[in-house]
A and B are shown apart, each in its own frame.
Chain A
Amino acid sequence: MSGKSDQELAGVVTSGGDTWRIGDREMTSRFLLGTGLFPNPFVQTEAIRVSGAEVLTFAIRRVDLESAEDDSILQHIELDAYQFLPNTSGSRTAEEAVRIARLARASGLSDWIKVEISADERTLLPDPIETLRATEILVKEGFTVLPYISDDPVICRKLEAAGAAAIMPGGAPIGTGLGILNPYNIGLIAEEANIPVIVDAGLGTASEAALAMELGAAAVLMNTPVAKAKDPVNMAFAMRLAIESGRLAYLSGRAPRKRYASASSGLDALVVK
């Protein structure tokens, strides 16, 4: 456990007023955190706290009728403190995703939905056609729809036109930790979009989260790189710092790249001349 105090955590928030918005919700944190795969609820709770995340993702699954124990994850989470973003993981078609989304909304906890429709189990790559169809249906039903999608700028445009509240291109396949495989595409998607772009999936470590933000993403969503780190709590904090750092670098505007050296110490009045 990191034991970081709230004061320490408050000290690392980037410049005041840099908020962003999805639907009616205005947010300061640009770190959306998943709740799967943590070693235990205590580590998870502490990781969530130090991450500063305001949005948490969940999956929807059948209740285990053989277990008398309450295995609901919600017993460990303060319900009013977070925006819930349930996902449609496990669905393979738009219809299955819509069915899961309706169940998620019936919980009364959230009308946000992460559309996640996987084409196959080996890559878990999103099916773009089904994702677009599900987004169209769910937008009409009044959901706040955040589709997880390939890093393809054209499908991202189409999802925005369909009424998505944000678009969530993957950096690499879910859980791989391969980082941002196509920075050009992520940068182009961020540049073109008029809605928030959230890089979701595939990141492994802090530098990759910083890169996502430097490329112009509004936020980053991750789960495995935090939950499966040797020290999930410290990794949650590292990711938070990286996201804030990358955001600040993006806002600051990097100096241009050059092919050859240019001295940062001036060459005028040189002693050895």
Chain B
Amino acid sequence: MKELIINGSKRELDASTVEDVVRLLGLEGRPVVAEVNGEVLTLERWADTATEPGMSIELVHFVGGG
């Protein structure tokens, strides 16, 4: 288990990559964009990007807006 900061909150997840994080949160296949430690992480790099304790991950998407 690793303690990660996801969307501003601490979470313990058994995730070795960012792809695992997305899957464990039930977001697989959804139109989600990831940012890791302040940098955009494109979908192709999710599987190769290893998680580290304390890593800050933002998962965002499009919502209604003007």
Contact = CB atoms under 8 A, between A and B. Distances in A.
Nearest to B39: A102
B25 interface: yes
A264 interface: no
A74 B62 CA distance: 7
Interface hub of B30, B33, B64, B65 (most chain A Cβ within 10 A): B65
B53 interface: no
Interface hub of B26, B31, B59, B66 (most chain A Cβ within 10 A): B66
B64 A87 contact: no
A4 interface: no
Contact of B38 (A59, A72, A73, A99): A99
A38 interface: yes
A58 B59 contact: no
B62 A59 contact: yes
Contacts of B37: none
Interface in A96-120: 99, 102-104, 106-107, 109
Interface residues of B, number: 25
B40 interface: yes
Contacts of B65: 34-36, 57-59, 86-87, 89, 223
A84 B63 CA distance: 12
A127 B58 CA distance: 26
Contacts of A36: 63-66
A58 B64 contact: yes
Nearest to B62: A58
A73 B63 contact: yes
A32 B42 CA distance: 29
A150 interface: no
A37 B64 contact: yes
Interface in A66-97: 68, 70-74, 84, 86-87, 89
Given A57-B66, A222-B66, A72 B61 contact: yes
B60 A63 contact: yes
Interface residues of A, number: 37
Contact of B64 (A63, A73, A84, A104): A73
B42 A106 contact: yes
B66 A62 contact: no
Nearest to B29: A70
Contact of B66 (A74, A103, A107, A223): A223
A223 B32 CA distance: 24
B66 A87 contact: yes
B59 A63 contact: yes
B64 A62 contact: no
A57 B62 CA distance: 10
B8 to A, nearest CB: 7
Given A62-B60, A103-B40, 4 more contacts: A63-B59, A70-B30, A72-B62, A106-B40
Q: Which 4 A-B pairs have the closest CB atoms?
A: A59-B65, A34-B66, A223-B66, A36-B64
